Amino acid sequence: MKGSTCRHDRTVNRLAAIIWIALFGLLLFACEGKKSEEYRVGILVAFPKFSVIADTFKEEMASLGYIEGKNIFYDQQAVNIDPAGERRIVEKFVKEKVDLVFAFPTSGAVSAKAVTQGTDIPVLFAMAGIEGNNLVDSVRRPGGNITGIRYPGPDLTLKRYELLQELLPKLKRLYITYNPDYPANRGSLQILRQAVEADGGTLVENPVSNVESIGADLEKREAADDIGLDAIMMMPDNISQSSAGWSLIDGFASRHKLPVSGAGAAITDPGVVFRYGPDIPGVGRMAAPLADKILQGTKAGTIPVLSAEAYLRVNYKLVKELGLAVPASWLEMATEINR
């Protein structure tokens, strides 16, 4: 009886071993299958200051098993907020039948969606505003063949305004200069106007179509007895945040000792008293798992849109140089303080 039991145990153990080997083989085959297939991804960088998103995206993709030059091939193209150029690039991607278009920020995402309509090529966006355009049907179900990482523009704009108020409790005249045609500005402008009006303040707006218009407005103010503003808020667009545009704003603010709140790509600009916005390199890392899902067969339009998390970076040194007190709430909330 004991020998029969031993033989039974050996049979069970042998069967269990065979099952485990089979399961391990299937798992290994699945992993190797993913790595052995080749994918082509077209990357549209529509604003050069955000090119780091492509770098961190590729790094995270590599950690997921997508090795550049081996099983994934990237075609990275860049323009500087040029809708016609964006369309040409995406048309090239479509013609080459890439497996995925990764486009950012808002302008690039809008162009990518428009050009890929009627194709089966999925679009993944990053740092794109979804307010004031038809980029997605909803956050939970973006629809079509698109998903991505949302730039929460209206939320961030309102919070920046609140942070400025903490720094300047008597803030009455807030200056913004922006490109009215830039998609990410639409929802942000609406919520900022409402907030400033509700507080009894004045939103001093300078809509522009080029950098020269920024310079002309600031020169006019400089020549006046009263420059007409108490603080400046950077808006998330291509003109004010271009190198030339920012240079004009930074110089004006420095000469008149005005606090400037940073936005978008102004990560390390020494002229801003604070920056409240997403960790831009982190956005690229957030996008990689979504790309993985899409490349493995999940329809992009069924994947919920993610929102980039915001962080506060305080330029403590500049605030003190301006003769202002750093709010205690800033120090509690800040992830980075430049002293």
**Tokens, residue 159:** 């919070």
Distances (CA, A) of 43 to 74, 106, 115, 252: 7, 14, 14, 36
pLDDT score, position 317: 94
Domain that holds residue 111: 35-151+279-310
Q: Positive or negative, the Cα torsion across 329, 252, 250, 161? A: positive
Is residue 236 situated within a structural domain? yes
Same domain, 246 and 206: yes
Is residue 24 situated within a structural domain? no
Rounded to a whole number of angstroms, the CA Rg of the chain reads 25
pLDDT tens by residue, 118-171: 999 999 999 999 987 899 999 999 999 999 999 998 999 999 999 999 999 999
Cα-to-chain-centroid distance, residue 146: 16
Q: What span, in angstroms and rounded, lies between the C-alpha atoms of 255 and 271? A: 11
Same domain, 157 and 271: yes
Side chain identity, residue 126: A
Is residue 104 situated within a structural domain? yes
Q: How confident is the model at residue 186 (pLDDT cuts 50, 70, 90)?
A: confident
pLDDT tens by residue, 208-252: 999 999 999 999 999 999 999 999 999 988 899 888 999 999 999
Same domain, 84 and 174: no
Is residue 254 situated within a structural domain? yes
Same domain, 204 and 322: yes
Is residue 8 situated within a structural domain? no
In this predicted structure, the answer to whether residue 21 has a pLDDT above a threshold of 70 is: no
pLDDT score, position 242: 86
Is residue 333 situated within a structural domain? yes
Same domain, 210 and 297: no
pLDDT score, position 237: 82
Contact 240, 179 (CB under 8 A): yes
Q: What span, in angstroms and rounded, lies between the C-alpha atoms of 86 and 96? A: 16
Regarding predicted confidence, which is higher, 239 or 19? Answer: 239
Same domain, 85 and 230: no
Is residue 299 situated within a structural domain? yes
Same domain, 302 and 233: no
Number of domains forming the structure of the chain:
2
Q: What span, in angstroms and rounded, lies between the C-alpha atoms of 289 and 68? A: 16
Closest CA to 259 of 333, 338, 326: 326
Closest CA to 258 of 237, 227, 216, 215: 227
Q: What span, in angstroms and rounded, lies between the C-alpha atoms of 288 and 148? A: 10
Residues whose CB is less than 8 angstroms from the CB of residue 136 and which lie 6 or more positions away in sequence, other chains included: 130, 142, 143, 146, 147, 305
Question: Could you give the 3-state DSSP secondary structure of residue 273?
Answer: coil
Region for 13 from its dihedrals, namely left if φ exceeds 0, alpha if ψ lies in -120 to 50, beta otherwise: alpha
Same domain, 216 and 269: yes
Q: What span, in angstroms and rounded, lies between the C-alpha atoms of 173 and 69? A: 53
Q: How confident is the model at residue 184 (pLDDT cuts 50, 70, 90)?
A: confident
Is residue 136 situated within a structural domain? yes
Find the helix or strand (DSSP H, E) in which 148 lies.
strand 146-150
pLDDT tens by residue, 258-311: 999 987 554 446 899 999 999 899 999 999 999 999 999 999 999 999 998 899
pLDDT tens by residue, 306-334: 998 899 999 999 999 999 999 999 999 99
CA atoms within 13 A on the CB side of 123: 31
Q: What is the CATH number of the domain that holds 67?
A: 3.40.50.2300
How far is the first Cα of the chain from the last one, in angstroms, to the nearest whole number?
A: 81
Same domain, 191 and 320: yes
